[in-house]
Amino acid sequence: MELNNEDEDRPTPRTVLGRRLRRLRENAGLSLRGLADKVGYPHTYISRIERGEQLPSDVLAGDLDTYFETDGLFVELLAMAQDSSIPDYGREVVEKEDKAARIQVFGSSLIPGLLQTEDYAFALCRESLPGETEEQVRERVATRMRRKRVFDGEDVPFYWAIMDEAALKRPIGGVKCMVGQINHLLTAVESPYVSLQVLPFAQGAHPMLGGSLSLLTLRNGATIGYVESFAAGEQVESPKRILTLTQRFDIARSKALPQSETLELIRAYLREYEDEDDS
Q: What is the mean pLDDT of each run of 10 residues along the chain (279 residues)?
A: 47 87 94 94 92 87 93 86 65 76 91 94 87 82 86 89 95 96 96 95 83 89 83 80 92 94 97 87
Specify the amino acid at residue 181. Q
**DSSP secondary structure code for residue 279 in this structure:** -
Residue 122, amino acid: F
Check residue 2 and give its pLDDT: 39
Q: Is residue 41 part of a domain?
A: yes
Determine, yes or no, domain membership for 1. no
* pLDDT the model gives residue 85: 64
Q: Which of 48, 83, 118 is the last residue of a domain?
A: 83
Question: Rounded distance, CA 84 to CA 148, Å?
Answer: 17
Q: How many domains does the chain have?
A: 2
Residues 12 and 44 placed together within one structural domain of the fold: yes
CA dihedral sign of residues 205, 209, 212, 214: negative
Q: Are 198 and 163 in contact (CB under 8 A)?
A: yes
Q: Say if residue 94 is in the same domain as residue 215.
A: yes
Residue-number span of the structural domain to which 263 is assigned: 88-278
Q: What integer pLDDT is reported at residue 44 of this predicted model?
A: 92
Do 176 and 246 share a domain, yes or no?
yes
User: Cα(263)–Cα(195) distance, rounded to whole angstroms?
Assistant: 11
Q: Do 54 and 170 sit in the same domain of this protein?
A: no
**Chain-centre distance of CA 15, in angstroms?**
22
Dihedral sign from CA coordinates of 219, 82, 249, 106: negative
Whether residue 144 sits in one domain with residue 39: no
pLDDT on residue 87: 61
Same domain, 78 and 102: no
